[in-house]
Amino acid sequence: MARSSKIRRRKNRLNIIATALFICFAATIVGAAIWWAMNRKPGIDPQTLCPQSGPRGHQVLLVDKTDAFNTAQKASFDIFFKELIESTPEGYLISIFVLGDDFKNNTKPFLELCNPGTGNDKNELTDNVKELQQRYRKHFIGPMLTVSNDLINSQSAKESPILEMLQLISLHAIQLHKVKGEVNLFIVSDMLQNSRALNMYKGAFSFEKYEQSYQASKLWVDFSNVNIHLYLVNNNPKTLTDELTNFWKAYSKKVKANEPTINMISG
């Protein structure tokens, strides 16, 4: 009888130990699953490279190639463009537009991709870092830098409908995506409007006068809280005047954008 009781106690101890080990094992599995789920990054769209939840911010670039770039301007643009691409935060969408002689043929982005991230800051336990790095180089940096020459190599055009193109950018990029994060609009141009709406080459011009025209009402856009960055290309003496910069400052205020920053493209 004593021997039987001893055996039962031993079995009970073994059962308790086995149960405790099972509970610890299960807790470890559950904990690992929770940790993995919390640290797992959301997937991205294989075509746009954007987060499945949508872009975290938006970088919109408009390159005006209605006037040919000289050698120094091309070199300066290459530096600006590379810095823009490499400084774009992970998850931000880059939409690139070009303005040519027939702007109606360029209503959609020339190229549009999100920065999927370099992979350098990822955890080897939750991500395939080498695959992420390769994706960044091959599918984001590669295509972006490849189009650099195509953005500025062209013949001079008869018109430069900047205002018309800004409206199309609003419709086909900024209003279309409506990202919740920061929106930056970079414009590389001499900013001299030349179309039926307004010709800045013919005498004096002011935003106050343009604002009262019928064309201004037709070309209205909403750039609420958009950060505008002007990169002026010096193709004409009028590019360097207060008349021009005051026009675009007034324009930015009218369309509810933040006051533009003004920079120069060398050359």
Q: Are residues 131 and 16 in the same domain?
A: no
Residue 47 lies in a domain: no
**Average pLDDT score over the chain:** 86
Partners of 60 in the beta sheet? 95, 185
Residue 51 lies in a domain: no
Q: Are residues 170 and 253 in the same domain?
A: yes
Half-sphere exposure of 81 (CA within 13 A, CB side): 24
Tell whether the model's pLDDT for residue 265 goes beyond 80.
yes
Number of structural domains in the chain: 2
* Cα radius of gyration rounded to whole Å, the chain: 28
How far CA 22 is from CA of 18, 104, 140, 233, in Å, comes to 6, 68, 47, 71
Q: Are residues 11 and 115 in the same domain?
A: no
pLDDT per position as a tens digit, 28-48: 554 444 444 444 455 888 899
pLDDT per position as a tens digit, 82-134: 999 999 999 999 999 999 877 777 889 999 999 999 866 555 545 677 888 89
Range of the domain at 29: 1-40
Could you tell me the pTM of the whole model? 0.82
Residue 115 lies in a domain: yes
pLDDT over 70 for what percent of the chain?
80
Q: Are residues 32 and 72 in the same domain?
A: no
CATH number of domain containing 100: 3.40.50.410
Q: Are residues 1 and 34 in the same domain?
A: yes
At residue 41, the pLDDT reads 55
Tell whether the model's pLDDT for residue 2 goes beyond 80.
no
**Secondary structure percentages of the chain, helix, strand, coil, to 5:** 45, 20, 35
